[in-house]
């Protein structure tokens, strides 16, 4: 039973220490996210957040710190952006691709170091853009360039400090530190949302609340199912004799995830959709043709139907694009051939790569459509039930992150327990 497993976890000193260390880092990160930047007008901030709903979705990657514009408002966004940019650059620079895909753990360590270095200018640029946006929208007032520079240095340092905390969790705690910090920010808003639901309870909307609860459970179950789904490609290894020993002759499988791109396509799609509306808001106050064009663009992107359809299409497109960047069937087929492996009924080399392309495209269609539906599910359920889905974690990026982190952390804890059971045996 689950309570027996929980008791077993806290009986093991090393595992208990790792988990308590993670909770301690969570507490420190949440403390940072509640220290606001001086000069923020909270009333105008609420109006601004209501005007730009996409900021609430992007807030999932800042651990909710964007809601009150704290010193940690950038969160882990610059680090995630740096990793994505470097992964895209592997398509352009062969040396970077070899380091990321062929040099093993040493190459991945060097790649992550490049991402940390790239996070510094990205954090500075994103912080400056955000502070200027807040100033022009009259949400913040810094008074002088020196105060603005101090605020920029603070948010940049806070973002890098959170990145370091994530690395500490990965090294001394359990699970992926960056994912766990984002997860902590997501679930931190749940008590507040639950309290608002209780205090704002409207008996006339009981049916809507019931439909909302059913839809939430269905979506969560679907996310878990798709996240854990695999398409197994059978692989056999030929027998080889070396000296007096025989190697190979075993059969296994190569698992293909239904959703190999994770939440990255949603990040890309949000960035594309958010950029034109932000530019239009900057230029909306100007007169003449520029102001009229900005107003038209802002109204165009404010249309919920157009926004939902564009969001869905972009997520599907970026799912295919990002998978093409990170998953290379030719390289896998080549490695299988070198190790004496083959797919039964398929010749090694190029035919195996073509077969993997065929399977991947079929599997990816399901994953891409599902990811697109999950991305637009908050808007769909909100329109159908008249319940504000931004107060709940039932769709989009937040749900995918939460489910992925919970399942992966649970697997790592179970692996730690099983290892200790084997050692005792």
pLDDT in tens, 310-333: 888 888 888 888 888 777 788 888
Per the listing, tokens 């998978």 go with 323
Determine the average pLDDT of the residues in 192-207: 72
pLDDT of residue 161: 92
Between 390 and 340, the more confident residue is 340
Determine the average pLDDT of the residues in 105-129: 86
Determine the average pLDDT of the residues in 17-34: 87
Cβ(394)–Cβ(215) below 8 Å: yes
How many other CB atoms sit within 10 Å of the CB of residue 116? 15
Cα angle 230-236-237, degrees, rounded to a multiple of 5? 135
- 34: pLDDT confidence band, cut at 50, 70 and 90? confident
Residue 92 clears pLDDT 60, i.e. is over it: yes
How many other CB atoms sit within 10 Å of the CB of residue 244? 5
Q: Tell me: the pLDDT tens digits for 225-257?
A: 887 788 888 888 776 656 666 555 677 888 888
Residue 388 clears pLDDT 60, i.e. is over it: no
pLDDT of residue 186: 77
How many other CB atoms sit within 10 Å of the CB of residue 45? 19
Instruction: Assign 226 to helix, strand or coil.
Output: helix
- 35: pLDDT confidence band, cut at 50, 70 and 90? confident
CA nearest neighbour of 181 among 195, 171, 170: 170
pLDDT of residue 120: 92
| Beta strands 251-257; 230-237: pairing state | antiparallel
Structure tokens at 327: 């998953």
Separation between Cα atoms, residue 115 and residue 120, nearest integer Å: 9
Q: Per mean pLDDT, which range of 19-28, 149-158, 383-392 is the poorest?
A: 383-392
Determine the average pLDDT of the residues in 368-395: 67
Residue 264 clears pLDDT 50, i.e. is over it: yes
What is the torsion angle, in degrees rounded to the nearest 10, for the CA atoms of residue 308, residue 313, residue 315 and residue 317? -170
Separation between Cα atoms, residue 160 and residue 113, nearest integer Å: 13
Structure tokens at 218: 């269905």
Cβ(73)–Cβ(161) below 8 Å: no
Between 312 and 91, the more confident residue is 312
How far is the CA of 77 from the CAs of 55, 118, 122, 244, 389, in angstroms?
Answer: 12, 12, 9, 55, 23
Cα angle 378-382-388, degrees, rounded to a multiple of 5? 95
Between 388 and 174, the more confident residue is 174
pTM for the structure as a whole: 0.76
Between 198 and 76, the more confident residue is 76
Separation between Cα atoms, residue 368 and residue 374, nearest integer Å: 10
Q: Per mean pLDDT, which range of 5-9, 36-40, 113-117, 223-227 is the poorest?
A: 5-9
Between 277 and 24, the more confident residue is 24
Cβ(413)–Cβ(174) below 8 Å: yes
Cβ contacts of 195 within 8 Å, gap of 6 or more: none
Residue 391 clears pLDDT 50, i.e. is over it: no
pLDDT of residue 425: 47
pLDDT of residue 282: 61
DSSP code at position 174: S
Cβ(75)–Cβ(63) below 8 Å: yes
Residue 350 clears pLDDT 80, i.e. is over it: yes
CA nearest neighbour of 227 among 257, 253, 254: 257
Tell me the domain boundaries of the chain.
1-188
Residue 375 clears pLDDT 50, i.e. is over it: yes
- 376: pLDDT confidence band, cut at 50, 70 and 90? confident
% of the chain exceeding 90 in pLDDT: 2
When the pLDDT of each residue in the chain is averaged and rounded to a whole number, the result is 77
DSSP code at position 59: G
How many other CB atoms sit within 10 Å of the CB of residue 237? 16
Cβ(174)–Cβ(19) below 8 Å: yes
Between 289 and 336, the more confident residue is 336
Separation between Cα atoms, residue 219 and residue 239, nearest integer Å: 46
CATH number of 1-188: 1.10.3370.10
- 394: pLDDT confidence band, cut at 50, 70 and 90? very low
Residue 281 clears pLDDT 70, i.e. is over it: no
How many other CB atoms sit within 10 Å of the CB of residue 272? 14
Separation between Cα atoms, residue 74 and residue 99, nearest integer Å: 29
Give the up-direction half-sphere exposure of residue 167: CA atoms within 13 A in the CB hemisphere: 12
Range among 102-111, 164-173, 264-273 with highest mean pLDDT value = 164-173
């Amino acid at each position: 039973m689950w309570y027996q497993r929980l008791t077993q976890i806290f009986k093991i000193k090393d595992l208990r220490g790792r988990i308590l260390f993670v909770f301690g880092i969570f507490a420190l990160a949440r403390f940072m996210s509640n220290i606001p930047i001086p000069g923020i007008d909270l009333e105008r901030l609420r109006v601004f957040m209501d005007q730009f709903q996409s900021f609430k979705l992007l807030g999932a990657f800042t651990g909710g710190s964007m809601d009150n514009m704290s010193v940690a408002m950038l969160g882990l966004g610059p680090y995630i952006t740096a990793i994505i940019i470097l992964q895209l650059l592997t398509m352009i620079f062969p040396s970077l691709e070899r380091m990321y895909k062929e040099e093993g753990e040493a190459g991945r360590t060097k790649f992550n170091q490049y991402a940390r270095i790239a996070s510094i200018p990205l954090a500075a640029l994103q912080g400056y853009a955000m502070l200027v946006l807040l100033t022009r929208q009259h949400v913040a007032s810094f008074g002088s360039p020196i105060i603005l520079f101090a605020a920029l240095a603070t948010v940049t340092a806070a973002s890098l400090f959170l990145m370091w905390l994530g690395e500490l969790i990965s090294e001394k705690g359990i699970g992926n530190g960056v994912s766990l910090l984002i997860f902590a920010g997501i679930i931190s808003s749940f008590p507040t949302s639950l309290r608002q639901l209780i205090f704002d309870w409207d008996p006339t909307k009981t049916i809507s609340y019931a439909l909302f609860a059913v839809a939430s459970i269905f979506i969560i179950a679907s996310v878990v199912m798709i996240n854990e789904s695999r398409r197994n490609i059978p692989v056999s290894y030929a027998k080889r004799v070396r000296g007096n020993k025989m190697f190979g002759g075993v059969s296994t499988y190569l698992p293909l995830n239904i959703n190999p791109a994770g939440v990255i396509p949603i990040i890309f799609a949000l960035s594309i959709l958010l950029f034109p509306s932000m530019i239009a808001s900057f230029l909306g106050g100007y007169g003449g043709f520029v102001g009229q064009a900005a107003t038209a663009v802002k109204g165009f992107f404010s249309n919920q139907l157009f926004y939902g359809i564009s969001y869905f299409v972009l997520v599907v497109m970026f799912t295919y694009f990002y998978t093409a960047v990170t998953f290379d069937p030719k390289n896998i087929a080549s490695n299988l051939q070198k190790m004496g492996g083959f797919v039964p009924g398929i010749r090694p080399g190029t035919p195996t790569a073509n077969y993997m392309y065929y399977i991947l495209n079929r599997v990816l269609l399901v994953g891409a459509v599902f990811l697109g539906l999950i991305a637009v599910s908050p808007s769909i359920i909100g329109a159908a039930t008249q319940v504000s889905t931004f107060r709940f974690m039932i769709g989009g990026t937040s749900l995918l992150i939460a489910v992925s982190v919970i399942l992966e952390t649970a697997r790592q804890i179970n692996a730690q327990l099983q290892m200790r059971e084997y050692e005792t045996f």
